[in-house]
Every structure is written in structure tokens, then in C-alpha cells.
Structure 1
Amino acid sequence: MERLLAQYAARPARPARTPRPLHIHLVDPFPPGPGHVWRTEQSRLYLMNTQSFFPTLIPDQGVAAAPLAGCSFNDWRGRMRQTPDPALSEGDRAELAQLTATGFPSRALYGRYLSWCVARLLEKLPDGATVTHHRAEARRVARDHENGGYGVELLNGETLHADKVVLALGHVETRLSPAQREFRDDARANGLSYLPPAVPNDVDWDQLPAGATVLVRGMGLNFFDVLGQLTEGRGGRFETTAADGGALTYVPSGREPVVVGASRRGTPYRAKAALESYYPAGVELRFLGEDAVAKIRGMGATAGFEHDIWPLLHRDTLWAYYTTLGRSSPDALAAGFLPELDALLHSGLDGDGVDWAERLKSLTARHVAEGRALDLAALARPLSHHPLRPGGKHRFGSQAELDAAVLAYLADDAASSARGEEDPVKMAIGALNAGRAIIKSLVADGGITQESWLGELRGWFEGFVEGLASGPPALRMEQLAALVRAGVVHFSGPDPVFRIQHGLFQLSSPWVDAEPWHARHLVEALAPANRVQGTASRLLNNLQADGLARPRVMLAADGGAVVTSGLDVSAPPYRPLDGAGTPVPGLYVLGLQLSSVQWGTAIAAQAGAEYRSGYRTVLDADAIAADILA
């Protein structure tokens, strides 16, 4: 909507011709702006995963047509602190009074910003443009053979005529996987409580009783949403006392359940570092830089992640780690190590990777203090490389031993986050995150093979970098540690096994020598799967049934066909391919359903983005708007 209005207002004047009017119809059962996910009435315990300085709805680069109104979230935050908008609630005002540029806003406050931007745009409508919101759900988009264009059928029975339609659907309902459906059905048969993947604000958390054991599968961002509702959301509070050395203490309300967290790693995602910018200022991509990217892009869709991209990003990660280690702990490195490392990093790019890896191992063994070398595998699986388990063969001997190990991990990670640019691990993760931004653009430009996309990028790197770089604010780790000390939260151990036995959920780990956990309640702390095949969206299912859209199919390394999560689309401006593989004219796709051709770029636009992927969604919207108005 923003790009359509901006480009319409900027269209060249045509003397003696009446401009063709622009009528925009927004179809959404939720208010435009906040939509479903960013509803303004939700709990303020639900935080964004990015700091105030990050997000923007209004473009600040990369587009020709200037915005008509609005600003970035951080600029809005400053404006609202000085001159509060009448629409702000008391909760909004209280949060704004405390929120800094590096703080993490609540999702409710971000929804208020989105609502404000929409209101400002509606105030600035150019002559000839109208916007109408239909508070309903679209069930079908069908070709209008009589009048041209499309008929958009709503659930309330109304049909809208449209010349062009943009599918900006975001998160839509999804059906459970076969394994989840089986688990749900078995749970029902045994009278158990199974909470499937969901938007956290859609869940009635009161159905989980106080004092009961609650198993939570997944320890990513939704895990912390669950914890917040079951602790602070029930009247508990966190306090800082001098007697505890400044550590947080949890004061329970007595209404909490006992929570058992489970994930493949056995630990939560690592917390974000305390930084003044999204990417560390001290991290420079010397290998996966613009020259290398241009070379890889020139290969077309023949580049492989592990062969062409990872060796460069791995070197950038090593350099970020060891230069930070040399600055923060100079005694950890022998004299002359960094020049030798620099020479080694610039070698082996076109030679024997195995030999290069052995040379790196030998160099660090000779010149890096014991226990201080970068171990990426240990970062990804901290409990699998815990000192209590030398060689990965030792099981945790008890539940208390496991909880103590995770508690130590939480404390160490929170301390690392607080050190920010002075922490070697967080700077290595910062390099991985910056490299991820480069890779996103490469993927969107078609610069990687399908086999590599499926087996390497999505196969292992995505989960690896998500667990390191997409974690919660450090405060959440400190709060989780306090909950562990209070006995409210325990952990299952890595590679958890869930089953139903003797009428109860059972949870165990092959790495823990302890009695399995038993419970009547299981929460899937996962976002609903973003898959167009298997979706519960009437609209997406009807588009596929009517032959106006289809999921994209890729070929894996073994030649097998793999149905991807997103739609099959043309080059930008993205139009769905019909059943015959032909782009559908006048129909466009924007956002999450582009996951088959983009990697993690359909979530938000970054204010003052350093990398093109940071404002990719804006560019997509701009290209669609231009094609519509052409």
C-alpha cells in the first residue's frame, strides 16, 4: 500500500488527461498495520526479536518514489516520547518512557507504530487514490472472464472486482504434520492436553494448571513467550538484590507450573549481544565481500554453499573471533599468531580444503591457549561438548547435573552478551550473521544450486546460524537462569524423545541418566509451519486447486523431487506460476510465501540497512507497485 501510494503520487503529470484513479482494497479480518501478529492489545511480555533501531515500514533507500508519510520505528519512538499520539494507550506511554534505541520493544508497541504509519498514509492520500478496508477473509481469487481481472470472494459472501491482486498473506493457518496429528489424536484418547504450534497470543495459557508439569518442545523464541505467560504473566516477578551479586532472583506467585524445556541442542538459542548496531561495528567481511559476491553471482545458479560460499564465511568468522580474542585476552594468543593466521586464511581458497583445515588445526594447537580455540561445533551443540562428557561419551549422571550444566551455559552466554564487541564468541556470531545477509541476496538472485539450497544451506547451515544469531535479548537468558534457580524450569537434555506411555506424555534424553519426565501437558513452542502445501488457508488451497498457483519443486542431490515451502513464482515482480508453469498476469506474491526463492528476507525491512537483503521486502513491494501502475 505504501509503495503504491508513493508511486501513484510521483507519476508524471499528463496535461489535458484525467489520471486513472487508484482504488486499493485491503482485505484482512484484522486491523491494517498490526494485522494478526502485531495486535496492539496483546501482552507486553511478548517482545520483538530486534532492537528499536532496526525495523521500518517506510523505505529510506533503494526506491525512486519518496514516501508520502511515516518514519522508522526508532524515529517514531522519539516522536511519541516528545509528543504522544492520542491513540497511545497508557501501556504504550509507560513502555515508551523506558524504551531506548537499543531496547527490545513489545510486539504490541510495534503494532501501534504500524497502525500510526497506516493512519498517516491515509491522511496523505494523493488525488485520485482511495483505500478501503474490508474486515473479512478472502477465500478465493478467481479470474473474471467476463470483465477481466479477478473476482476476490470473501467469507461474508461479498465479491470484489480487482484488476490486480497482491497476495501479501504473511502467517496463515497451517495443518499439523502427520506426526503431530498422530500425537494430538493419541493425546486426546488419553485425556491429555496437547497445544500444537500457534501464534503465542492466540493461546489460552490459563488451561495449564498451577503446579502441574508442562513439557515444552522447542527452545527458540516461542519458548520464552511460553515462559513469560506462565511466570510473570501469572504474577511472578524478577528482582535484583545485592546479596546475590546483582543476579536476578525470581519471586514466584505460586501459580506457576513446573516447566521442562526440550530441544535437539538441549539449550535455548544464544542471546543477542549488547550492540549499538545490528551488525557489530568491529566485524568486517574480508572474504565474503563484494568482489567475491560478484564472482559467485557471475557463476549463475551453479554455486554451491559448501564449496563456494562457506569457505569464505568460515574465514571471516575465524578472523572476527581471533582478532577479538587477541584484543580482549592477549595472553590467550602467542606472539605472531594473527599474522600467521591471516596468511593461512588467504591460502587454500583454490586448493585442498582438507589440507587447509589440518593446517588451521595445527596452527591453533600451537599458538592458542588451551580451551580458547574457536569450536563451531561446540557452539552449535554446547551440551554435546560439555566438560562432563569428554569425547561425547559421558552421560549426565542426574537431572541436577544436567540443570547445573544448562545454568552454567545461560550464565556464560548472558555474560558474553554483556561484553558485546569485546567478546570473541559474540563477534564470531556477528560475522556469521553479517554473512547471512550477503547469502540472502545471493539466494534471491538465483546464485545457488537447488541441491546446495536443499542439502547444505537449508540442510545444516540454516539451523546452525539460527541457533546462534537469532536468539532472544540477553535479559531473557538472565530471567531463565533465575527460573532454573527457583526450581520453576528444568531441562530434558539433547535429542529429546517424546512418547505417550501409560496414559501420560513421557520425555527422556539419551544423554541423561535420570528418570523420564511424565506429564499431562505438552506445548509445541514452535511457530506454525510456513508451507503452502499442507496449509489450512482456504485462499492458498483454492489458488492451487484452481490452477492459479503451485508450490515450487526442487531437485535434491540424489535427483529426487522435493516440494519446497513456498510458491513457484516468476522473477521479480514475483507472480505465481500456474499449473502449466506460466506466470499469472496481474497476480503478485509478497512476503513469506516467497520462501522458495528467498531465504529469510520476507520478515522486516531494516532502517539504514547495510546490506541489500535488509530492505529486500521493500524492493519487492516497489517492483510490484511499479508493475501494477505501468
Structure 2
Amino acid sequence: MSAGRPSVVVVGAGPRGTGFLERLAANLPELYGDRPLDVHLVDPHPAGPGRIWRTAQSPLLWMNSRAEDVTMFTDETVRIDGPVLPGPSLAEWAGIDGRAFPTRPQQGAYLRWVHARARAALPPGVTVHEHPTTALRVTGPRDGRQRVWLDGHAVPLAADLVVLALGHLDARPDARLREPAGFAARHGLVHLPPEFTADSDLSVLPAGQPVLVRGFGLAFVDLMVLLTEGRGGRYEKHATDPDRLVYVPSGREPVLYVGSRRGVPYHSKIGYELAGERPPLPRFFGPAEVDALLAAGRPVDFRRDLWPLVAKELGWAHYHRLFTAHPERTAVAREDFEERYAAAAPLGPELDALVARAVPDPADRFDPAALDHPLAGVRYASADALQEGLRRYVADDLTRRHDPANSPDLAVFDALLSVYGQLARIGDIGDPGNWWHGFFSYLASGPPGPRLRQLLALSDAGIVRFLGAGVTIETDEERGVFRASSTSLPGEWTEARALVEARLPDPTVAHSAAPLLRSLHQDGARATEAGLLAVDPGDGRVLGSDGRPHPRRFALGPHTTSRAGGAFTRPRTGGFAFRQNDRTARAALTLLRDLSCPAESTQASAPVSA
């Protein structure tokens, strides 16, 4: 690096860092021209796929999306100020069935190619430097060059600006996790904390022994795969039922006792396309509503300010689809319903009465509370009855999510994506427990249908046992075991010498294992009550404790208040992450241009869309 050359340091070269690099290359000709620039990419993991999507992991692990639903490129639906530069989806690039669920190594190969293409698009005056190590700290004055300190390097990188694209990070245990970890250490037990399952040492879970699993989302699915097929088991077709599988064990599997707050797995991916009229979105939670909230000038509280609007928006999508695609299941005229729905207060008795009158079958009504607590009030007489009840629940979910007769479910999925994009404009949404993100993931980011068919086969084989909802884990000092119970089967306890926390770590600043993130907070960067790094929702600049955006530090990704649904998205759905990448890239290039040519800084800077 030449001392006088402008430079930008991007910490994190996985999907989000690659997305930023693609937008940097796209916007360079307009905003920066042919001036020299050094771009430093800091990441101990492979550039492009990063840690989560690295190609060196088990091909038994799948993506959670169909190949046709994954793209790293903008299209005509993405509203950005920079140029739209289309590119192939994963399915088009790999030449695979768009309806298939690719392996993680396949996605990693796609991301590696996208990264190489983005680098190749940079003009000759831009030099890229890769640093396969970890960034430890960023220092420097607000109005001067920053220093990025790297592990194993005595001399820091000098940067005119820094972009943090850190992705999913490990975490240090908080008080909730230190207690079971200490108990396990005292008694020679196993406690696996929240982490990326592909990196967990699963060899400590012995064959045939019970393992308590707290968490029923995607981390559990990975755990289930690696401890069954990953240990030599296999699936066969059922002799009489083509929709069922039979699991043939290898004898090396542990017995997984799984439960969670809800007690059920995430909903299956929907297995059909939405034909006909789509709900016009946004309707009740769009730019005007977000503008009004931002203009109010007070902190936003999710439950008070946002959830009523969000719930009404999701319900609107549901009933619009029901009335247009399945009118025989409604009892009033569509126009009358829509007029009264628009006038009714959200989450109130007037709306409940309208829906009860207009939609005769309760199964056709949108009930977010019932969705969030599917086992609320359900009690089973025995452990065997619980297993049968949960198998029936999973089988019914698979049927529903693959039957177009239930297409309001897919309309709600579209509304969830629309809502997520609006929420990202707000930044800190005032949701300390991150309930919204969990609810979104539960409804919209569930496993592929084949995974739930495998779950049913494992349950039939006795390899997976369901604990139910409201799971409580206790420690028995006298007997030296973990004990689990649930509200679904009161008074019953399951004992084990191993406990797995099947979830990704919470993306909190205070407990992050990344020293860079912790040091930023210690040096004055603001963290929200939910523990997220506060950033300006307009361009991603890191906010200080005084609320001021740092002019030279930007952050993108799940550890920030502008977290989007993912670093890549479905084609032709507006891709909010792409808009974030474009805004940040344009703001960064404008700053770099003005630093290189101060005279230009007096001219109007390139606009950044709101």
C-alpha cells in the first residue's frame, strides 16, 4: 500500500462483504472515476463464501432456499441510485434444477465466483489486498485516517474509511450459559453452546446416549443431519406410502430429545408458486407509516408502535389472497370486507368480529398469536401421546405448506419480506428480545420440506424424541445430570449427560467473541437494548453514544440495527440488502472522492436514497 493512496478496509469478505464489493465496483465509474484506490479485505475465511458458506464442509448440509431463489445480483425490482447490473441466480449459474435445495458447498462455489467477478469489474487503478486474518480493533479520529489493527501484524492498516461486514459471529457465554457450562465442567458432562453447528465438535455426543437439545430451528436441523446421515445412517422409501421415509440407523446415533419455547420446528418451506393476483403491498405498513414514525422524534417501541401495523399488513395479505383466490371460503363481499378492514383498528375486537363474520372457518383466519404459540394450552397424557401429537403436527404442516389451497400462507410470506424492508429503514425497532426476528424466521425461514420428512422418519425410528413447548432445563447437582421438562407434559422429566444449545449465538455487541465489535462499543459506538450495533439506516454509518454517525466507519449485517433478511435474496423481490449495499458503497465513494479532491466537496454530493 502506498502511503498517499486512498484506501478502504472491508472487514469480512463473505457474502455481505462481497455484495458491498460488487456495488463498489458498479458505482466507481460515476462517483470516483479512475482515481487510484487500495481496497483491503480482511477475513480469516475464504473470500466469497466466508465461514458459513465455505466449500470445505459436509455436502449433507443444504441451503435453506431453492436454487432459483438465491441471487447476488440486482435486477429491475431493486430501487437503487447506482446502476442495476443483473447476473445469474445460483440455479442459472450452476445449471441445476431451480426447485432443488443446493448444498452449502455449492452455494460457496457460487459466492466464490461472484467475488471473483466483482474483483474483475474493478478498474485498473484499484488494487485489492487480501489479509487472511482477524481484525482486532479500529482506532483513529473522527476527521482523520483510521487504523485497523490485525491479529499477527505489528503495523495497522491505514484506512480513509472502514466497512464492517462481519456476518454471523461467535459469542462469549452470558449468565444464562455460564451456569450450565460450569455445571457440565464440574460433573464431567457435555454442554455445547450456541454456535455454527458445522463447527461444533459432535464427537463428544456418544452413540445410543440421550442428548437434550434446546432449540428447534435451523441449527437443530443441521445437528440432526450430522448426527444421523453424518454418522452413516440412511433413508429409504416407505413400502406403502410414497410421502413417507424410513430411517435405517447405523447404530452410531445418539437419541435427541428436542424442545423449545414453541415446541415445534420452524414451518416448512412452501412448495408451490403463487398464481394469479398478488396482494398489493405495502398497504398498511409502507413508506408513509415509516415516515410518520420517524418524524415523531421519539424512540420506537416494537410492540406499541410497530406490531399493530405489521400485524394488520400481514393480515391484509392473507385475506386479500383468500378473497381473490378462494372466495368460496368467505361469507361477505370482498369490497365490503376490505373497506371495513381498512377502517378497523389493528389487533382489536372490531377487527376480530369482522373476520369472524367474513371467514366462517377458523382455519382460514390469520391468527398471529396461535401461529407463535401452536401448543399453547395443549397437554398430553403421556410421552408416547406427545410423540404422536407432534408427528401429526409436522405432517399436517408439510401437507398445508405444499397445498395451493392454502395460498394465503404464501401471501403472508410476501408480506413478511415487505415488512422486513420497511423495518430496516427504522434501524433500532425497539425489540429488546429480538422477538420479531425470531417470528419472521419461524414463519419464513423454515427448513425444506424433505428435512421435515426426515424428521418424521427419525421420530418413527426413536432417534428423535419430542419434549414439547415451554421447555425448562434444570441441573441436578446431587445426581450430576441435566433434566428437561415442558408445559406440554407436566411432571415428566428427561435426564441426560449432554445438553446442546441448538441456535446461532445472539448477535449482541457486549457478548460478541469478535474483539473488534467489543472494542468499538468500548470506544463509544452505541449498542441498542437488544444488543445490536446502532447504525444510520440511511447509509450504514456507525452511530456513537451521542447519536452522531461516524463519518468514516460503516457496518452492514446481522449484528447491526439495519439487519436485512440476508446477504442474498430472491430474484425480482426488491432485495433490501442490495439497497443497503448500494447506499453504503455510494456514501463511501463520495467520501473517498471528496478526500482525494477537496474542491469537489463543495459541489453537491451524489444523492443517497432514503
Q: Could you say whether these structures have the same fold, taking a TM-score greater than 0.5 normalized by the shorter chain as the test?
A: yes
Q: CA deviation at 1:493?
A: 1.3
Cα-to-partner distance string for 1:170-216 (whole Å, 9 max, x where unaligned)? 12221112111111111211211000000111112121110010111
* Cα pair distance change 1:580/1:380, threshold 3 Å: closer
Q: CA deviation at 1:587?
A: 1.5
CA distance in 2, matches of 1:625, 1:70: 24
1:536 to 2:513 alignment: yes
Aligned to 1:7: 27
* Cα pair distance change 1:463/1:160, threshold 3 Å: closer
Q: Secondary structure at the match of 1:615?
A: helix
1:573 to 2:567 alignment: no
CA distance in 1, matches of 2:275, 2:577: 16
Runs of at least 5 residues in structure 2 that lack an aligned partner in the other structure: 1-20, 594-610
Aligned to 1:381: 373
Paired residues of 2:507 and 2:558 also in contact (CA < 8 A)? yes
Aligned to 2:195: 198
The structure 1 residue matched to 2:53, chosen from 38, 41, 58, is 38
Q: Secondary structure at the match of 2:147?
A: strand
* Cα pair distance change 1:514/1:475, threshold 3 Å: farther
Q: CA deviation at 1:30?
A: 1.1
CA distance in 1, matches of 2:471, 2:532: 29
The structure 1 residue matched to 2:410, chosen from 412, 420, 430, is 430
Give the fraction of aligned pairs with identical amino acids, expressed as a percent. 34
The structure 2 residue matched to 1:170, chosen from 159, 164, 167, is 167
1:73 to 2:90 alignment: yes
CA distance in 1, matches of 2:322, 2:387: 29
What value does the CA root-mean-square deviation take over the aligned residues? 2.8
Aligned to 2:146: 150
1:111 to 2:108 alignment: yes
Cα-to-partner distance string for 1:326-357 (whole Å, 9 max, x where unaligned)? 5xxx5xx4xxx354465234215345664423
* Cα pair distance change 1:316/1:370, threshold 3 Å: closer
CA distance in 2, matches of 1:69, 1:363: 47
Paired residues of 1:235 and 1:252 also in contact (CA < 8 A)? yes
Q: CA deviation at 1:516?
A: 1.2
Q: Secondary structure at the match of 2:542?
A: coil
CA distance in 2, matches of 1:70, 1:358: 45
Cα-to-partner distance string for 1:464-514 (whole Å, 9 max, x where unaligned)? 343222210000111100111111111111111110112101011132156
Aligned to 1:551: 527
1:489 to 2:464 alignment: yes
* Cα pair distance change 1:372/1:27, threshold 3 Å: closer
Q: CA deviation at 1:165?
A: 1.1
Aligned to 2:97: 100
CA distance in 1, matches of 2:552, 2:361: 62
Q: TM-score normalised to the size of structure 2?
A: 0.84
**One-letter amino acid of the counterpart of residue 433, structure 1:** F
Deviates more, 1:64-73 or 1:108-117: 64-73
* Cα pair distance change 1:314/1:615, threshold 3 Å: same
The structure 2 residue matched to 1:409, chosen from 373, 393, 405, is 393
Q: CA deviation at 1:167?
A: 1.1
1:299 to 2:292 alignment: yes
Aligned to 2:176: 179
The structure 2 residue matched to 1:51, chosen from 50, 66, 69, is 66
Q: CA deviation at 1:69?
A: 9.5
* Cα pair distance change 1:611/1:171, threshold 3 Å: same
Paired residues of 2:526 and 2:533 also in contact (CA < 8 A)? yes
**One-letter amino acid of the counterpart of residue 289, structure 1:** P
**One-letter amino acid of the counterpart of residue 494, structure 1:** A
Aligned to 2:314: 313
The structure 2 residue matched to 1:26, chosen from 17, 41, 48, is 41
CA distance in 2, matches of 1:371, 1:429: 11
1:613 to 2:564 alignment: no
CA distance in 2, matches of 1:551, 1:352: 33
The aligned runs of 1:101-500 (5 Å cut-off) are 101-143=98-140, 148-158=144-154, 159-276=156-273, 280-282=274-276, 284-286=278-280, 288-289=281-282, 293-301=286-294, 302=296, 304-321=305-322, 324-326=325-327, 333=329, 337-340=330-333, 342-351=335-344, 354-360=348-354, 362-363=356-357, 368=360, 375-384=367-376, 392=377, 395-419=379-403, 422-424=404-406, 427-446=407-426, 453-454=430-431, 461-500=436-475
1:591 to 2:557 alignment: yes
Cα-to-partner distance string for 1:66-122 (whole Å, 9 max, x where unaligned)? 5789643232112xxxxxxxxxxxxxxxxxxxx411221122211111111222333
Q: Secondary structure at the match of 1:222?
A: helix
Paired residues of 2:424 and 2:537 also in contact (CA < 8 A)? no
Q: TM-score normalised to the size of structure 1?
A: 0.82
CA distance in 2, matches of 1:473, 1:601: 21
Runs of at least 5 residues in structure 1 that lack an aligned partner in the other structure: 14-18, 79-98, 385-391, 553-562
**One-letter amino acid of the counterpart of residue 498, structure 2:** H
Q: CA deviation at 1:415?
A: 1.8
Aligned to 2:605: none
Cα-to-partner distance string for 1:209-256 (whole Å, 9 max, x where unaligned)? 100101111001111000000100011011113434441111111111
Paired residues of 1:591 and 1:617 also in contact (CA < 8 A)? no
CA distance in 2, matches of 1:339, 1:511: 38
Q: Report how many aligned residue pairs link the two structures.
A: 559
CA distance in 1, matches of 2:211, 2:115: 40
Cα-to-partner distance string for 1:123-177 (whole Å, 9 max, x where unaligned)? 44412111110111111111179x9411211111242111221111112221112
Paired residues of 1:28 and 1:136 also in contact (CA < 8 A)? yes
**One-letter amino acid of the counterpart of residue 591, structure 1:** G
**One-letter amino acid of the counterpart of residue 89, structure 2:** S
Q: Secondary structure at the match of 1:120?
A: helix
CA distance in 2, matches of 1:142, 1:374: 50
The structure 2 residue matched to 1:525, chosen from 488, 502, 505, is 502
Cα-to-partner distance string for 1:574-596 (whole Å, 9 max, x where unaligned)? 221334443222221122232x2
Aligned to 2:13: none
* Cα pair distance change 1:4/1:48, threshold 3 Å: same
Q: CA deviation at 1:462?
A: 4.2
**One-letter amino acid of the counterpart of residue 284, structure 1:** R
Aligned to 2:530: 564
**One-letter amino acid of the counterpart of residue 451, structure 2:** R
Paired residues of 2:67 and 2:91 also in contact (CA < 8 A)? yes
CA distance in 2, matches of 1:398, 1:530: 38
Q: CA deviation at 1:7?
A: 2.3
* Cα pair distance change 1:55/1:372, threshold 3 Å: closer
* Cα pair distance change 1:591/1:627, threshold 3 Å: farther
Paired residues of 1:271 and 1:477 also in contact (CA < 8 A)? yes
